[in-house]
Amino acid sequence: MPILYSPENQVFHLQNDRISYIIRLVAGKYPIHQYWGKKVRAIHADVMERCCNQQEEGFTLHELPLDTLPQECPVFGCGDMRQGMLEVRQADGSSALDLCYDSHEILKGKPALKGLPSARGEEAETLVLRLRDEHSGVAVELSYSVYPDIDVIARNMRVVNDGEQAVVLERALSACVDLENTHTQLTTLSGAWARERQMVTRPLVPGHQGVESVRGASSHQACPFMALGKSTVTEDEGEVYALSLCYSGSFWADVFVDCNDMARAQIGIQPFQFSWELKPGDSFQTPEAYLCYSANGLNGMSREFHHLCGRYITRGKYAHASRPLLVNNWEATYFDFNEDKLLELAACAKDVGIDLFVLDDGWFGHRDVDNSSLGDWVDDRRKLPNGLRGLSDKIHGLGLKFGLWFEPEMISPDSDLYRAHPDWCIHIPGRMQVESRHQLVLDLSRKEVREYIIDAVSAAMERGNVDYVKWDMNRNMNMLHSDGLDSAHQKELNHRYILGLYEILEAVTSRFPDVLFESCAGGGGRFDFGMMHYMPQAWCSDDTDAFMRCRIQYGTSMVFPVSTMGAHVSAVPNHQMGRSTPLATRAAVAMGGTYGYELDLTRLPKEELDEIRRLNEKVKALQPLLLYGEFYRLCSPFEGNKTAFMSVSEDRCEAVVTHVYGPAEPNRQPVLLPLRGLDAEKEYRDVESGRVYGGDELMTHGLTIPRAWGDYMATQFHLVAVD
């Protein structure tokens, strides 16, 4: 069974065929983290002996060494001097809690979280531990779900006020795990706009280290993820313990190393600028966190997260389907377009084998630059004299699907919506409004705003008969204040905004189940499992430079599968970097994601259009393997002048290998690239050259990568098992 309970030892053992996660009740009261790692039959060692050289029998609350015990739900104030995962301000102003075991339940399946995205769990089994503080009446439900086919534990916490007085949550995290600090390094994904999710590894030192966002979004600057391991961990070897969060708002991911070399890893909603009142009978649900153990290095960790996302988080028609090859008009035209120009671009796209034409920003209101009209989702008849429906009918008449860009969460001061409802934006009355990109943020905590967005977006989608939506969000939140909340509840705004966003996304995506939705946030500024629950792919970055994308996509793949990463071929010189790279390289890198184009096809010479036509045929033939194969990182762009990755079919009979050089270097010989994930007993033929290799040879000796004759050269191999 996935979850076993021993009443005699008061031990809960969560397990599948590969991993174990063991919780023990100390003194019959406190759930202690006893073990997490490779599958074991049992752990007989006494956690009290390990942590304090004392036996637990006869201890009271005041004698138990909570400051050294690895607790499942630690709280500051009753003996533990470290920051805990829950802080509750009570009516007398104190926040100490004595959370003791009350009861437990083992469930078949995995309950959904009300109002929040979460992984599905028909195949899972779930342990619910109920704890209670008798003095205040605060109760906690800790939920742990274990899957038979992935090495991930899904965790969340629900806080209930069973007392007679209101309390205020000031911290409510999703997961905490105390580990012996034999894991000496921390890996996170950090960056900025146009260089998102750069891989950063640092040594663990006493004190706090981690990543966070206070921007109202998971952000360009940080990803809600962290991994702990020894300094000897590589892509394919060593134990890794990782945490990630299914949440799209401000978050906190932290490791605190104490004086006893215990590493406390926690993840959840950002405590800064957060509070939440619970009246008697009220409850609060935290987002879901995912705890991943890998005995096979970072690649092993990533594949478990990829399986979690593909099998249990993404949903709908496109969750496991091929995606249409698209062209987006943004870098081709920016705001300067009319119907004739768009149709010319669409006709050219159809001719080279593209499936989907996407109309980006500028189709609504009177938006000729980015300083107006957000919120006014009505057709601009100056540019589209026949409206969205007229353009859409002509695009469909060419045999293409039609897609549309929105930024529904924002409002321009120069808009009819703002003139009618200036209080609908997030603002502080009496203070100067702080704009970014000439726009303000709509207050999604308000019901009337959510209803407007759902109705306005749905109406435009119906008018345009759209097949695809790019859902953008180009600025973060500050000047936090809602006219819909009183002064005592303003710190609830950040989380209420995200709950409002999820309500909108659930409504719109459910109303249009056949539409492909792609998330975007100024590029990759909200790339998280929360958004993947509603939209199966996200625009990975506004930076489409192929060399920079090697780093961005490499870092993103630490947590997210190829099928989620929007990746396009753009024009050169690149619009963000000014760099020129070969078309074949731009295409090879874009094949590491959901493939498309960001350029003006009508300006390309015939030979480039012919090459694009051949590339599109190749992508369509290989797309199931590229999007859904087992993904392996082979060579890191953060460690040298090249990168490499590959995808392998489930039956290990087919693989695509991509290698990309950076700037060319003189007097460099060809390199050998060992592969991963193949069948050592099989023979593989390279489709282009016809050469045959043994699987053991390819994984031990490797493929020979030709020397780079020119900057940013890419080489691809399509390997097929020989019967």
Catalytic residues: 472, 542
- With beta carbons less than 8 A apart as the criterion, state whether 314 and 532 touch: yes
Instruction: Indicate if the alpha-carbon torsion angle 576, 582, 583, 587 is positive or negative.
Output: negative
Please name which of 247, 246, 235 lies closest in space to residue 303, comparing C-alpha atoms. Answer: 235
Q: Rg of the chain over CA atoms, in angstroms?
A: 27
CA distance 364 to 255: 46
CA–CA gap between residue 274 and residue 294 (Å, rounded): 33
CA pair distance 41, 43, nearest whole angstrom = 7
Neighbouring C-beta atoms of residue 579, cutoff 10 Å: 15
How far is Cα 643 from Cα 20, in angstroms, rounded to an integer?
34
Q: How many other C-beta atoms can be found within 10 angstroms of the C-beta atom of residue 123?
A: 17
Helix (H) or strand (E) segment spanning residue 351: helix 339-351
Compute φ and ψ for 19, nearest 5 degrees.
-130, 160
Contact call for residues 158 and 141 (beta carbons, < 8 A): yes
Three-state secondary-structure class, residue 354: coil
Question: Identity (one letter) of the amino acid at 720?
Answer: V
Instruction: Please name every residue paired with 86 in a beta bridge, in sequence order, or none if there are none.
Output: 172
CA angle 637-643-646, nearest 5°? 135
Helix H, strand E, coil C: the string for 112-138 is CCCCCCCCCCCCCEEEEEEEECCCCCE
> In what order do the strands lie in the sheet containing 30-38?
3-6, 11-15, 19-26, 30-38
